[in-house]
């Protein structure tokens, strides 16, 4: 439902998880990825960065390369 409500892409997309909590908590990251796999939105490339601004830069780089 969230995928459709937010008009997220169906299929694979790049995902950047940013912040120290997501960087340090392997269980939380895995739960997020598992939940996404159960939806129509499945991340293809997953990057983990400690600082949110680096996450924005990583997403921009991925977008520029596709």
Q: Which residue has the higher pLDDT, 9 or 14?
A: 14
pTM of the model: 0.63
- The SS3 call for residue 42 is strand
Q: Are 18 and 51 in contact (CB under 8 A)?
A: yes
Indicate if the pLDDT at residue 54 is higher than 80: no
- The two tokens of residue 33 are 């990825």
Summarised one tens digit per residue, pLDDT across range 13-50 is 788 888 888 889 999 999 998 988 887 777 888 988 87
**Higher pLDDT, residue 38 or 9:** 38
For residue 9, give the 3-state DSSP assignment: coil
55 to 9, 31, 39, 42: CA distances (angstroms): 19, 19, 23, 18
Q: Residue 1 above 70 pLDDT?
A: no
């Amino acid at each position: 439902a969230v995928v459709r409500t937010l008009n997220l892409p169906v299929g694979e997309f790049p995902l950047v998880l940013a912040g120290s909590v997501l960087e340090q908590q392997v269980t939380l990251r895995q739960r997020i990825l598992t939940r996404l796999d159960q939806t129509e939105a499945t991340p293809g490339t997953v990057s983990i960065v400690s600082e949110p601004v680096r996450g924005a830069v990583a997403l921009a780089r991925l977008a520029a390369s596709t």
